[in-house]
């Protein structure tokens, strides 16, 4: 189904921002946006790009389910409600230009940085932060960098990391219950108009690494990164399992 908002949107409403995978629309309500998930997928600093029909519907659905679940557990997110197949009504936020990455096992960049085998278990979850800045290739930063450079204060990064740890615990448990290991994920934060810090952006197979516990199959964007195929079927399978669990 097409988003009711997008169908009825008056043409004088602005697009607030557009990225590679999502469009954020202004609405008549000063506190709300509508986010549309696109079928585009990218990898390796957006060098590799494609359009995969039906992908946006699936990342939108998974992110709605996860954000709704986090809301139900008392964590604050931007998610208000789903709107059609590819849309979400969300709180309008000012995004903090920091990405928090949580890792439970080694995959992706940590494998390259430390020269360790993919899949290496980590003694405890590892938190990383990057500065959201495409011109600088989104460098890794620490809390000193963030505070000293005016990107985010110590207080803010502490709050973001604490919430990310809670999200990690909740999602590890949720995904384990559907036979999926949460290997790592990326999470972003922003402020609503009243100054509340909330989880924003998306949490989906485009922004997490998931491994099927029974056969080690990758169930995330690595299928696109490493040309493993069956992207839609795999995202759909993950969605079906999550729908049953929630
Ligand atoms: O590439 P790397 O191993 O650092 O990614 C860690 C996690 O963060 C992965 O789940 C990846 O999908 C996610 N990520 C993301 N968006 C980025 C960078 C990383 O969703 N720009």
For 159-175, write each residue's pLDDT tens digit: 999 999 999 999 999 99
> What's the rounded Cα separation, in Å, for the pair 127 and 99?
10
Atom 16 (ligand 1) nearest CA: 207
The pLDDT of residue 6? 81
Pocket of ligand 1 (CB under 6 A): 101, 107-109, 184-186, 207-209, 221
Taking the centre of ligand 1 as the mean of its atom positions, its distance from the CA of residue 9, in whole angstroms, is: 33
The pLDDT of residue 5? 82
Tokens of 10: 């008056």
Beta bridge mates, 74: none
Atom 18 (ligand 1) nearest CA: 186
Ligand 1 atom closest to Cα of residue 208: 10
The pLDDT of residue 57? 98
Taking the centre of ligand 1 as the mean of its atom positions, its distance from the CA of residue 159, in whole angstroms, is: 20
**Is residue 50 pLDDT above 90, yes or no?**
yes
Ligand 1 atom closest to Cα of residue 222: 12
> What's the rounded Cα separation, in Å, for the pair 114 and 126?
13
Rounded mean pLDDT, 69-88: 97
Q: Which of 184, 200, 210, 231 to mutate to test the pocket of ligand 1 (most atoms within 8 A of CB)?
A: 184
Taking the centre of ligand 1 as the mean of its atom positions, its distance from the CA of residue 179, in whole angstroms, is: 22
**Is residue 78 pLDDT above 80, yes or no?**
yes
Atom 8 (ligand 1) nearest CA: 186
Rounded mean pLDDT, 176-186: 98
Atom 3 (ligand 1) nearest CA: 108
Taking the centre of ligand 1 as the mean of its atom positions, its distance from the CA of residue 186, in whole angstroms, is: 6
Residue 18 banded pLDDT, cuts 50, 70, 90: very high
Taking the centre of ligand 1 as the mean of its atom positions, its distance from the CA of residue 209, in whole angstroms, is: 8
Q: Which of 22, 59, 101 to mutate to test the pocket of ligand 1 (most atoms within 8 A of CB)?
A: 101
pLDDT > 90 in the chain, percent: 93
Rounded mean pLDDT, 3-25: 87
Tokens of 192: 């609503």
Residue 226 banded pLDDT, cuts 50, 70, 90: very high
**Is residue 14 pLDDT above 90, yes or no?**
no
User: Which CA distances in Å does 128 have to 19, 93, 143, 165, 202?
Assistant: 23, 23, 10, 12, 18
The predicted model scores a pTM of 0.96
- 3-state SS class at 201: coil
Ligand 1 atom closest to Cα of residue 186: 8
- 3-state SS class at 225: helix
């Amino acid at each position: 189904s097409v988003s009711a908002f997008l169908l009825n949107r008056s043409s004088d409403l602005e697009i607030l921002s557009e990225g590679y995978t999502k469009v954020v629309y202004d609405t008549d309500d000063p506190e709300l946006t509508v986010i549309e998930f696109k079928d585009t997928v990218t990898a390796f600093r957006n060098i590799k790009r494609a359009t995969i029909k039906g992908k946006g519907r699936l990342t939108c659905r998974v992110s709605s389910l996860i954000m709704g679940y986090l809301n139900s557990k008392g964590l604050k997110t931007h998610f208000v409600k789903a709107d059609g197949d590819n849309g979400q009504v969300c709180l309008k936020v000012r995004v903090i230009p920091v990405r928090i990455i949580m890792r439970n096992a080694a995959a992706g960049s940590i494998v390259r940085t430390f020269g360790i085998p993919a899949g290496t278990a980590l003694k405890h979850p590892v938190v990383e932060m990057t500065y959201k800045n495409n011109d600088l290739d989104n460098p890794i930063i620490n809390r000193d960098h963030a505070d000293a450079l005016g990107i985010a204060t110590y207080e803010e990064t502490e709050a973001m990391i604490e919430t990310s740890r809670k999200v990690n615990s909740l999602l590890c448990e949720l995904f384990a219950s559907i036979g999926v290991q949460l290997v790592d994920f990326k999470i972003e934060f922003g402020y609503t108009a009243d100054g509340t810090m909330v989880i924003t952006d998306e949490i989906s197979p485009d922004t997490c690494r998931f491994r099927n516990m029974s056969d080690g199959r990758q169930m995330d964007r690595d299928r696109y990164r490493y040309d493993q195929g069956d992207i839609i079927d795999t995202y759909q399978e993950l969605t079906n399992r999550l729908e049953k669990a929630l």
